[in-house]
Amino acid sequence: MLLKAATIALIPALVIQGSRVKKNTLRLPEPEGARKGKIGTGKKLSLLILGDSAAAGVGVEHQDDALLGAILHELKNDFQVEWKLQAKTGDTTSNVLRTLDQMEVQHYDVIVTSVGVNDVTRLMSAEVWIQKQQQLYSKIQQKFSPKLVIAAGVPPMNMFPALPNPLAWLFGQYAKQMNLQLEKFVNQQVNMQWIEYDIEKYRAMNLQMAADGFHPSKEVYTLWGQEVAGKIQKAF
């Protein structure tokens, strides 16, 4: 209720700041590179990455430097990875659900998800969002029967350089509440694991975000990919 009240009170400022951010923030394209393929030697492993612009790798110029590339770099010496990237800038949880409806039934050993930022910018409540997330992961289980699902939390948007206050503060509050719900849900599932997008840790390591102040940089994608790959290596 407090967050809802704060949202209503801040609407005039949000409209002004939101318009300025859209106008002034650098718009980065999705990186070049293949969206599916096979790489590596060793035990066979199938991998699907689903989500929004961060999953798609916005912030770098080529998929080799994005989340996908970072994961494959860590896995390719131990696994023969057959992989697919299904991610699009601007996608909400609802968009990803519709995308899943269009995909063929197929088994993937591992599925990595990153979606939520565009739900935050639409000021979706955590209660509504987690219901959509539950639908998402239910459909993932039905269509792909994964052995492991790794869910990335919503970034702490209050720390995005591109966002001014109070817009940044409000988005940060929405992201925090969503993450509380998602972490609780993930911890109740037998084949799911949770990864936090820890901007404070990245800052402590003197790592910067991408030029737009909104997406990960190559260095951040590298750390993120290493964390994901580490969970995969432990599970397989």
What pTM did the predictor assign? 0.94
CATH architecture of structural domain 2-26+36-235:
3-Layer(aba) Sandwich (3.40)
Burial of 166 from C-beta contacts in 10 A (0-12 / 13-18 / 19+): middle
Q: What's the chain's length in residues?
A: 236
- Specify whether the CB–CB gap between 57 and 67 falls below 8 A: yes
- Specify whether the CB–CB gap between 117 and 155 falls below 8 A: yes
Question: What's the pLDDT at 19?
Answer: 84
Return per-residue pLDDT of the chain as tens, 236 residues: 678 877 887 777 777 887 888 888 888 999 999 999 999 999 999 999 999 999 999 999 999 999 999 999 999 999 999 999 999 999 999 999 999 999 999 999 999 999 999 999 999 999 999 999 999 999 999 999 999 999 999 999 998 999 989 989 999 999 999 999 999 999 999 999 999 888 778 878 888 899 998 899 999 999 999 999 999 999 99
Question: What's the pLDDT at 1?
Answer: 60
As a whole number of angstroms, the distance between CA 211 and CA 220 comes to 13
As a whole number of angstroms, the distance between CA 64 and CA 51 comes to 18
Question: What's the pLDDT at 100?
Answer: 97
Question: What's the pLDDT at 67?
Answer: 97
- Specify whether the CB–CB gap between 51 and 91 falls below 8 A: yes
